[in-house]
Structure 1
Amino acid sequence: MLHLVLTLCLAAEPGTCADRLLPTPLTPAACTAEAGARAAAWLADHPGLTLHGHRCAPLADLPALTLTRVAPGLFVHHGIAALPDQKNLGRIANLGVAIGQDAIAVIDAGASRAEAEALYAAIRARSDLPIRALILTHMHPDHSFGADLFREAGAEILGAPKLAAGIEARAEAWMDSYPAQVGHGALIGTRIALPDRGVAIGTLDLGGLVLDLTAEPTAHTDNDLTVFHAASGTLFTGDLVFNDLLPTLDGSVTGWLDWLDHPRPELRQIVPGHGPAPLPWPEGAKPTRTYLTRLADDIRTAIAAGRPMSEAIRHTHPEDAARWQGYAISHPRNASAAYAELEWE
C-alpha cells in the first residue's frame, strides 16, 4: 500500500513549504487514478495553502516517531523535555499508543499535524488495525494540535466534558502566538480540532486490551482526562505529572495537590505528560507534588504577609531552578495563577 503525500506552501509565505501526508492507504492503481482528485479535495478544505505537487510513497519512506513499549500493547513516544521553540518544533509531549487485537487507540496527538503524521507512520509500521479513538488528555497545543490528522484516519476524538470549551476559549490566542513560538513551517496543514465526544467516565475495549477513561477534577487544567490500563497497572496521566520539565498551572493548585494525594493502590507505573517514562507510582509523582506544595506554601505566606502578587511571583528557589527545565519562564506564571486562586481561600 502507498500513502499520498502533498507538497504544500503557505500562500502568505510561498517560500515556507512542507510535505503533508493524507492518512488513507492506497493501492498503486488507486494512487494513479485518484491522487489528483484527493489532493484537490483536501486542499479545498484547507485555505491558506498552495499545492506544489503530490506523490505516492511507501510507508518505509515516511518520517516516523520512535515508539517504546512500556507494557503489553502499550507504547510511548517520548517528547523533548523543554518548552516549545523553533528548534524542537513544539514536540515536547509524551504520546501514547494502545494496540489491541481489534483496534488501536492513540493517547494525545502531538503539537502539529506533522508530528501526528509521524506518529501515524510509527503506528502503521506496527499494525494496520483501525485507529478507533484519539484520546486527548487535555487541551494544550503540544498534546492536541495534531488531532485533525487522526480524525482523517477514522478515529473518534475523545476528551473530558470541558475539553471543547477549553479549546474554543483559547483557540484564537493560540493561533496568534503558537506559530511564532514553534515556527510557521512546523504548523503547515495544522488546524484545531474539537472533540467528537466528551467522556466523564468510560471504557474503551480494543479487543483484549481495555482502557478506562476518567475526567478528573480541576487540577493542571479543568479538562484533564486520565487513561488507565488495569491489566498492567499503567496510568497515562497527561500533564497531571511532569518529569524534568516544570509543571505548568492552568487550573487549580489545590485541586492538583488533592489529585496527587489521592491513594491509588491499583497503580504500578505512570506515563507522565513530559519527560522519561514510565515512572513508578507514587514515587514518580513526588517531584511534581514537591514543587506544587512549595508553590502553594510560598504564595500563602506572601498573601498572609500582605505582599502583592508582583512581589510574590519574583520569589524563587535555586533548587527548583536547577531541577526543572523551563523554570525561569514558567514559575512566575505558576505563581501568578496560584496567587489569583489562593487569595480567595
Structure 2
Amino acid sequence: MEKFSQFRDRGSGIAPFFPVPPQPSGYMLPLHVFLFCFRLPLLIFVCLSYFLVLQFLPIGSLGKKASLWCILGVPSLWWIDLQVDGVKRGHLASQRSRLPAGKSIIASSFTSPIDAVYLAAIFDPIFTASYPDTRKVEQLSLLGAILRSFAAPENTPPAGTRLVDLSQLLEKYPSRPIAVFAECTTTNGRGILPLSRSLASAPPRTNIYPISLRYTEPDVTTPVPGCYTSFLWNLLSKPTHFIRVRVAEYVSTSSKSPSEAHSTSNGFFDDDEDNSSSASLLQTTTTDLNKEEKALLDHVGESLARLGRVKRVGLGVKEKADFVRAWTRHRRR
C-alpha cells in the first residue's frame, strides 16, 4: 500500500479511507456460506417490508423501532455495549436526560450503514448530510442515510440539492433530535475527519451530543464507495457482530445569536479550554468561523476521538475523493 502513502495522516500515520480486510474464513468457510445464504433472503424481506410498507403505516414510533430491530437482528447485531459519560452501568434508565431528545443534535461518527439504522432504532432522529463548505445541511430519509454511506465523497452539494438550516429542522421537528454526520463522508473508524461547519450553525443554547459507534469486526465499515457486495458478505456471513456505542456529555452552543457570535469571541469556552486544544484547530474547517464556533467544532471532534479511542486526522473530503480515484484505478489494473 506504499503507493497510497499520501493518504495517510502525516502526524499519526493513520489511513482512514482504506477498506478493512476481513479475517480469513479458513475452516469456517462452509458455516459462513450457509449463514450468508440463509440470512440474505431474510434481510431483503425485512428491509422491503419496512421501507415499502411499514414505515408508511400508523404503527407509531415503537412499532417502527421494533421493525428496525428486526433488521438489526437478522445479521445478529444484538450485542451492544452502550455507555454514557457520567452514568454508571445499570443506571441509564434513571438518567434519560443525558441522552439525545427533541430540540437537540446528534453529532455521530460515520463509518457504516449500520450507524443510521441503529440511531433510528434508538433515537428516531431526522437524518442530515453535511458538506465541508456550507453551514446548511441536506435532509435525508433513513434509506437516504443508509445509501449515503455507500456514496462517493462530495465537496459541494450536487445541483438541485435542497439545503436547510439546522434551526429550521429543529423548529419543524421539535420532538425528534437531528442527526448530523459532520465528517461529511465515511471512514474505516480509525480516525476522525475535520468536521463540517454545519454544526456551528446550530441555534443558541442547543445541546449537541457526540456519539461514537464502533464495530467488531470493523470490516462492516464502508470507507470505499459502492462496496455493497463486500459489505453484505462481511455483515451476513459472521455468526454475530458487536457494537460499541459511546455517548459524550452534551455541549451547548453559545447563548448568542449567530450575528452576535460573529461580532464577539466571548461566551462559549474560556481561554484555557480553547488553548488546550489549539493544536487540533488546524484540522477543522475554519473558514468563516469565529473563535466560539472553532471551539465548538474542536470540542465535538475531540469528544468523538476520545469516545472512539482514535485520533483526529487532517485528511478530509477532498483527500477522500482523491483516494477513491486512485483506489479505483488500482483495482482496474
What TM-score do you get using the length of structure 1 for normalisation?
0.28
What TM-score do you get using the length of structure 2 for normalisation?
0.28
Which fold has the larger relative contact order, with Cα–Cα distance below 8 Å and residues 6 or more apart in sequence?
2
The structure with the greater share of residues assigned to helix is 2
* Structure index of larger Rg: 1
The structure with the greater share of residues assigned to strand is 1
